[in-house]
Structure 1
Amino acid sequence: MARARSTRRTLLTASAAAAIAAPLTGAAAHASGPRRRPPDATLRAILREIDPGRIEATVRRLAAFGTRHTLSSQTDPVRGIGAARDWIHRQLQAYAATSGGRMTVELQSFVQPVSPRVPVPTVITNVVATLRGSVTPERIYVVTGHYDSRATDVLDHTGDAPGADDDASGVAVIMELARVLARREPEATLVFAAVAGEEQGLYGSDHMAQAYRDAGADIQAMFSNDIVGTGDAHDGSRPAPHTVRLFVEGVPTAETAAETGARRSTGGENDGPSRQLGRFAGEVAANPQTGMDLRVVWRRDRYLRGSDHVSFLLRGYPAARFTEPRENFAHEHQDVRVVDGVQYGDLVEFCDFAYIARVARVNAATLWSLAVAPGTPKDVVIDTTRLTNETTLRWTVGTEPDLAGYEVLWRESTAADWTDVVAVGRVGTATVDVSKDNVQFGVRAVDTDGHRSPAAAPRPSA
């Protein structure tokens, strides 16, 4: 919860002071910290359209391919990863047909060389649906689920591996998002990708992330949905049907040596771009309309495990992973069998389709809120050229036509979330009478409808 309004005086530069004369929509000069942001009418309509029945049909259809192992048949029309690939492609093409030309679908294929989990060169194919933004299409937000599956032996490509929870559930999420959002016009570009090769080494997402990096793509957020099938662990433990975990790293995976040195001297372990995504998602996606709470975990992923968001983190992109609150490991990476009366295997019967739909709503609320808000501020620096008890921040002013201005946020260094915010107008610099030595700062953008971007933490100017 946010603490009471700060009584500290705020100084503004001349340009910021002039901008404050026309306050931002829905913003006060001081506010008592971040608040939950209820969805507007458009987002509420989007959330209502997410259909548990369609999600169930998708999970059941994917499980019915028998196995979707990366090394399974790519030509059998009814069994194996090739049949699953072609079915996903057809479905996404059908959704794209409703978009008025805004959504395109591609098969992104490459040959994966031999590796410990790929004994022969193997074609791996991602199925990618791209919904082009209407205002700033160069700004991109990506969401994935992986459509490959596995049994106990990671090289067993012939045995049954239905992969209902891991990860037909995540693919069902991204496909339902594509279906519902294809008919909308986000300001930024949204990408819905069913990636392959995850179980063999994150190969599909690794190829996709590198392709974006090679193209210089401005990916401002990426979310992996991996094992999002149920809030009930089926093991006698307490169920959590209205909670989803979101794993977000603090120190960036791709942090350079210079950035490490700056962080060690000034702090910021809890202010990496991915951690800001976690804060943002908590503000916009945990509400009665999604029916979910977010348990944000300050960790890159679970122990001994990893998902496709890591491929994007390695390229310096902000990324996070959605996953169910308590996994049942008898239902993951297991041959389908019964031992001592215990059913093993990743079967459809263990999925909760209403739960997956709620996870889809969390994704929709987060992605849509990102795509209709201004982009995360760029080039944010905090002036460290002189000793002073005031704090000056600078950033590059965005080009969005509906950009109203910016807000400076701060919190105690021991606080998990922002507690204070001041609107400073459509400017690129602001000075506040709060010591940078005592608190953590951030800057976020606001548009004329009150949509807010994730915050960006500043780096030292010198």
Structure 2
Amino acid sequence: MRSLCFAASLLSPIALADNPESALQHADHKALHQIQSDISADNIQKDITKLVSFGTRHTLSETESDSRGIGAARRWIKAEFEKISKACGNCLEVYYQSETISGEKRIPDPVDVVSVIAVQKGTTDPNRYVIMSGDIDSRISDVMNFTDDAPGANDNASGVAGTLEAARVLSKYKFNGSIVYAALAGEEQGLFGGRIMAQQAQKDGWRIKAVLNNDMIGNVEGINGVINNTTARIFAEGTRQTETEQEATTRRFTGGEVDSPSRNLARYIDRMADRYIPNLDTMVIYRLDRFGRGGHHRPFNDLGFPGVRIMETNENYNRQHQDLRTENGIEYGDTLDGVNFDYAAKLTALNAVSLAGMAWAPSPPAKVEIKGAVQPSTTLSWQAADKKQNPHLAGYKVYWRYTDAPQWQFSRYVGNVTEFTLENIVIDNYFFGVASVSKDGYESPVVFPGAAGAFGE
């Protein structure tokens, strides 16, 4: 059914302002196809190669050298962001974000954990943010070995290179909301860069609607022998970490375990892959991260922000966190020859079109509520979007699906209203949500009713 829905909308692109009722299908946007096409595998290869050339990017490594260590790497990343900003008329605000960490298991002595942040401010809603991140640091078998070579080609020069390339392409456009490109530090030592950024964003009142953490986006050959460049994984946690006891009680009776904002962010990215990224199928995985493991989206999730991890499907553990060596005919180590640059470009393009789609769309609906118990119909309501922040708003679309369906199945454009009743659609048999729609058809992620699904104000 979903494939038929996508095919129909591709054959009939809509002009929402002229024919709002046709918004039953997603608009097909030439700009997003162009963004996908503009992502360069060659640029990504050059950037990964440069990051590997620093020898090691361990959090505790050299900071004074111009050619080796974490200090040289972050200075080069900052210079690249500044070069991108200069090309777009200084459209990026580029800065270091740091904190001195000590007394930790993996950082016992004081160390400055320094990330590089580049912010592309939105034109009408600059305090609404979507974020793409990659991790600067690398490691080998001994997590405390900061002197030996740790190339970190795939883990995670690929994520940083993808973030730089997304900035090169998206900085050519103007968006309603803000886009942040983040090269985060200290991931291998304890997710410190993400924690520092998330806490600062919360302190500064950033309205974060999405965090797309890219950690290993370049490997296509799995440890199990599978070679596949046509799939990717999106890890998304369920119930919010910040849920209160009262909210948990409400959720028990209304649902929402599989409709956290992170999960609906993942569904949004999944649909963008189906529409705009050739030969890529994404797997939305209902888990915070790989089994028992973590990544830099987690500190944002810890504070209640929507965030997911985007990465390769087939991991090769011989190339992760390994000393460079050959044993029993097996080559160990995270080196350049283990990276498929075309595949890294494909996942970078997925990030870029998702960021662009959300930044061009109106803000996701706030205060979405639902009622319909012991009634033949279901009524959804929501708060009207701020007109100054969202001058391009056309209206809203109501979505619903069967409760065991992974993706939204049915939708109806309902216009610029704040309440709508779906006649003869029984509340007990479906899950429901609402998305904001712009005048040219860009949609926000779908928002599930109540605290369980809220993207924030």
- Report the Cα distance in structure 2 between the residues aligned to 1:162 and 1:44, rounded to whole angstroms: 33
- Report the Cα distance in structure 1 between the residues aligned to 2:102 and 2:438, rounded to whole angstroms: 47
Matched, 1:395 2:382: yes
Distance 1:89 1:55, change over 3 A: same
Give percent identity, aligned residues only.
Answer: 37
Q: Partner residue of 1:221?
A: 210
1:312 paired residue among 297, 300, 305 = 300
- Report the Cα distance in structure 2 between the residues aligned to 1:289 and 1:322, rounded to whole angstroms: 14
1:291 offset after TM fit, Å? 3.7
* Residues 24 and 425, structure 1, Cα contact 8 Å, conserved in 2: no
Q: Partner residue of 1:71?
A: 60
Distance 1:173 1:4, change over 3 A: closer
Deviates more, 1:287-296 or 1:193-202: 287-296
- Matched letter for residue 246 of structure 1: I
- Matched letter for residue 397 of structure 1: A
Distance 1:429 1:124, change over 3 A: same
Q: Match of 2:266, SS?
A: helix
Q: Partner residue of 2:12?
A: none
Matched, 1:201 2:194: no
Q: Partner residue of 2:407?
A: 417
2:268 paired residue among 273, 276, 280 = 280
Deviations 1:132-154 (A, max 9, x none): 11121111000100010011011
Q: Partner residue of 1:14?
A: none
Q: Partner residue of 1:44?
A: 33
Q: Partner residue of 2:418?
A: 428
- Report the Cα distance in structure 2 between the residues aligned to 1:276 and 1:292, rounded to whole angstroms: 19
Matched, 1:345 2:336: no
- Report the Cα distance in structure 1 between the residues aligned to 2:19 and 2:237, rounded to whole angstroms: 31
1:256 paired residue among 239, 244, 261 = 244
Matched, 1:325 2:313: yes
- Matched letter for residue 380 of structure 2: L
1:109 offset after TM fit, Å? 1.3
Q: Match of 1:246, SS?
A: strand
Q: Partner residue of 1:212?
A: 201
Deviates more, 1:162-171 or 1:105-114: 105-114
Q: Partner residue of 2:395?
A: 405
Structure 2 unaligned runs (5+)?
A: 6-14, 453-457
- Matched letter for residue 126 of structure 1: S
1:293 paired residue among 257, 281, 287 = 281
Coordinate RMSD, CA, aligned? 2.1
Q: Partner residue of 1:437?
A: 428
1:25 offset after TM fit, Å? 5.5
Distance 1:357 1:3, change over 3 A: closer
2:89 paired residue among 95, 100, 106 = 100
2:230 paired residue among 242, 256, 259 = 242
Q: Partner residue of 2:444?
A: 453
- Report the Cα distance in structure 2 between the residues aligned to 1:290 and 1:138, rounded to whole angstroms: 32
Q: Match of 2:270, SS?
A: helix
* Residues 226 and 314, structure 2, Cα contact 8 Å, conserved in 1: no
Larger relative contact order (CA 8 Å, sep ≥ 6):
1
* Residues 3 and 419, structure 1, Cα contact 8 Å, conserved in 2: no
* Residues 16 and 441, structure 2, Cα contact 8 Å, conserved in 1: no
Deviations 1:286-328 (A, max 9, x none): 3464442212111111012110010110011100001111101
Structure 1 unaligned runs (5+)?
A: 6-21
2:166 paired residue among 174, 177, 180 = 177
1:3 offset after TM fit, Å? 10
1:232 offset after TM fit, Å? 2.0
Q: Partner residue of 2:112?
A: 123
- Report the Cα distance in structure 1 between the residues aligned to 2:342 and 2:20, rounded to whole angstroms: 36
2:153 paired residue among 153, 156, 164 = 164
Q: Match of 1:437, SS?
A: helix
Distance 1:29 1:44, change over 3 A: closer
* Residues 334 and 344, structure 1, Cα contact 8 Å, conserved in 2: yes
Q: Match of 1:199, SS?
A: coil
* Residues 219 and 316, structure 2, Cα contact 8 Å, conserved in 1: no
How many correspondences in the alignment? Answer: 439
Distance 1:150 1:293, change over 3 A: same
Q: Match of 1:138, SS?
A: strand
Distance 1:24 1:439, change over 3 A: farther
Q: Partner residue of 1:88?
A: 77
- Report the Cα distance in structure 2 between the residues aligned to 1:457 and 1:390, rounded to whole angstroms: 17
Distance 1:51 1:442, change over 3 A: same
